[in-house]
């Protein structure tokens, strides 16, 4: 669902009876819940599932699982256990399709060093797949989206533009090589980014998924009480994303995201329509966006886990106005 509809529904929930051991609840729009079990151990809980974004069932399974576990990495944790969540039109599609989706997911779970312990599948009009994930983190090492400080650099660990590529794919207009590249990026675990940020020490982190770069950046700015500045020309794009964006292959989610988040975004200068919309393009399974003290930026970019993935400095944290993203 788009952010506008979701906000309508979620405002009816109240967080009453908060427990002091609930370190991160849902009220800061963070990636996962974090609950302290002991002085040296906290649980991370998160769930994510969606409809297919690519044609190959195995690839879809990998992407959905990588995305679900990404919220654990975004909190600085390590996935421990996973449960499959699936919907499938059993009478309409061959069961081998579901088997391939689950195989893709299981391979990713294993790659993450986590354990698949069960799941739940329902009849559904179209396939859906994802995971509920339990992860672990030291309570003192939780990385929230609320710790960004003025002067921090903003580092992004994966290119954006997957929504444009998968929309073009559905219309048979995406070059196969570009699709392959997008699948590889979306299926890549955010484990390396999580390890690097734990070693170097960052102030805040979130992952870039359905609410796209500016939406997730806005959540970080709001939760941290700071402003952010993003340089549009420093944001890495997937191959062919700009060309396909210029031809108008945007998913409906990009327009919904822009409608909802535009009031929090200030453009320093008008951007070409397609370039602006790209910043609102749902990424499905994107990278980590980190706010890192500028004295540690070089160490983060050169961290052995991360350096080969070409992380990019895309902007910085400003004093204010709080919750506002300036796009240069
Ligand atoms: Co997230
Ligand atoms: Co999520
Ligand atoms: Co039961």
Is residue 119 pLDDT above 90, yes or no?
yes
Rounded mean pLDDT, 129-145: 97
Cβ neighbours for 328, distance < 8 A, ≥ 6 positions apart = 229, 230, 231, 232, 268, 315
Task: Work out the mean pLDDT of the chain and round it to a whole number.
Answer: 95
pLDDT digits (tens, 9 = 90+) for 30-77: 899 999 999 999 999 999 999 999 999 999 999 999 999 999 999 999
CA of 268 to the centre of ligand 2 (A): 30
CA of 106 to the centre of ligand 3 (A): 21
Residue 14: pLDDT band with limits 50, 70, 90: confident
pLDDT at 26: 81
Q: 233 or 18, which is more confident?
A: 233
Query: How far apart, in whole angstroms, are the C-alpha atoms of residue 264 and residue 282?
Result: 17
Rounded mean pLDDT, 23-30: 86
Containing 289, the helix (H) or strand (E) segment is strand 288-292
CA of 68 to the centre of ligand 2 (A): 6
Rounded mean pLDDT, 235-239: 95
Ligand having the closest approach to the CA of 119: 3
pLDDT digits (tens, 9 = 90+) for 85-109: 999 999 999 999 999 999 999 999 9
CA of 78 to the centre of ligand 1 (A): 14
Rounded mean pLDDT, 121-138: 97
Rounded mean pLDDT, 305-315: 93
Query: pTM score > 0.85 for this model?
Result: yes
Query: How far apart, in whole angstroms, are the C-alpha atoms of residue 273 and residue 152?
Result: 29
């Amino acid at each position: 669902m788009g952010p506008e509809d979701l906000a309508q529904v979620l405002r009816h929930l109240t967080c009453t009876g908060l427990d002091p051991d609930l370190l991160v609840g849902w009220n800061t729009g963070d990636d996962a819940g974090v609950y302290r079990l002991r002085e040296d151990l906290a649980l991370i809980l998160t769930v994510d599932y969606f409809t297919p974004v690519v044609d190959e069932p195995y690839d879809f399974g990998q992407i959905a699982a990588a995305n679900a576990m990404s919220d654990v990495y975004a909190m600085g944790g390590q996935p421990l256990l996973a449960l499959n969540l699936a919907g499938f039109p059993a009478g309409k599609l061959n069961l081998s399709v579901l088997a391939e989706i689950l195989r893709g997911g299981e391979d990713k779970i294993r790659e993450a060093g986590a354990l698949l312990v069960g799941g739940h599948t329902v009849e559904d009009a179209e396939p859906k797949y994802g995971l509920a994930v339990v992860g672990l983190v030291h309570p003192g090492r939780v990385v929230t989206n609320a710790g960004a400080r003025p002067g921090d650099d903003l580092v992004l660990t994966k290119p954006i533009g997957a929504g444009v590529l998968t929309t073009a794919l559905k219309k048979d207009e995406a070059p196969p090589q570009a699709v392959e590249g997008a699948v590889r990026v979306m299926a890549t675990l955010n484990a390396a980014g999580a390890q690097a940020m734990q070693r170097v020490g960052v102030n805040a982190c979130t992952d870039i998924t359905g609410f796209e770069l500016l939406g997730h950046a806005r959540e970080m700015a709001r939760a941290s009480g700071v402003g952010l500045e993003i340089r549009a020309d420093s944001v890495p794009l997937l191959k062919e994303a700009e060309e396909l964006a210029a031809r108008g292959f945007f998913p409906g989610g990009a327009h919904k995201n822009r409608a909802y988040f535009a009031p929090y975004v200030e453009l320093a200068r008008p951007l070409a329509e397609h370039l602006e919309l790209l910043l609102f393009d749902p990424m499905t399974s994107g990278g980590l966006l980190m706010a890192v003290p500028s004295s540690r930026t070089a160490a983060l970019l050169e961290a052995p886990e991360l350096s080969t993935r070409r992380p990019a400095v895309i902007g910085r944290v400003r004093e204010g106005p709080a919750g506002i993203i300036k796009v240069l």
